[in-house]
Structure 1
Amino acid sequence: MARGEEVDRRIHEAALELLRSRGPAAVTVEAVAAESGVARTTIYRRHRDRDEVLESALKEIAATNLLTPTEDVWADMRQAIELLIATFQQNQGVGVFLGLITGGDPELVELIRAKLLRPRIELGIMRMRAGVATGQIRPDADVETAADLVLGAVAARFAHAGTFPQEWIDSVVDLVRSALEVR
């Protein structure tokens, strides 16, 4: 790994660790410098401010755990749920989740929505629309709401239980399938 990539990795890891462990307000350039061991001047050469540090780190999260579509929309839904779970369980999701629900910083909330959530939800919606085109999902199905329900189910399960047994994943897919499948 090149030196610049290593520095960026340390900055991103520190920003995400602060976000995860102490919430959005704890992510400052000074705190990232202390956590990462990277000088503030180096961070400022790469990023204009705290928001740019977070945006860069969130882009890195967004590039991981991506859905690989198959011919089976229901298998893809299961995979999407497992990828959402992985994001939460890799601890990065904890801070993102806290950032959204505390809502103390409207710009941070919008950054998380724009860089992390909307692109993933849009991919899920596109995949369900493809399921409509292949006859697996009813043409009149509200796939946007279905995507919200799946994301909400994972977030709620994370919030109250923190565990995701395979039976739970299966039951979410079965429930959504019974609502959307062509009969």
Structure 2
Amino acid sequence: MNSCPHSSLRNLPTLAALLLGLSSGLTALELSAAPTNIPSAATRFTDNDNGTVTDHLTGVIWLKNANCTETVGGVNKSAGVLAWDNALAWTAALDNGSCGLTDGSTASQWRLPNRKELQSLIDHGVSNPALPAGHPFTRVQSHYYWSSTTFALGANGAWGVNLTDGNRYAGGATFILYVWPVRQQANILIEQAKVANGLFWAAP
């Protein structure tokens, strides 16, 4: 499977770092250097001891198990990977009692993360997986994960994010990728950021 490297995102601080500055009332143009108050994984993430992890930087609640292989809603996920339509159906059927969940959640409360939510996890300073050191997630695969974001230039495609290095990928919905559900809406303010001469600015 070929990835679609996005060179402008290489060697960037995590998107979450930029989001942290924006949440403090700064615009991207006002950040003259990489934020120094980036929260560590220990303070950014809370393991809720119920099969979920809260990301306090974005407000997203993630399934702690990033590769649950249980059959949910009649969708067999024993191989870990699913085509996009099956990924949507499997995620929507997820509820309390599945995949280690004891959070009281019900079917339809879980969904695929959008592309921005997946990218907000990425730490471009590490790889395999490209997640912040000390993160509390389990069974994270250094491979592609589906997002709910469709590919605008293709009728039957969607975006994925490679957890090996954080690269984005746009592929056919029949391809099989990993699935990592979320619930609760995130507060993602930008799609991506670029860095030049130490300055941040919002991508066009």
Q: Tell whether the structures are fold-level matches, with TM greater than 0.5.
A: no
Which structure has the highest strand share of the two? Answer: 2
Higher relative contact order (CA 8 A, sep 6+): 2
- TM (normalized to structure 2)? 0.30
- TM (normalized to structure 1)? 0.32
Greater Rg, structure 1 or structure 2? 1
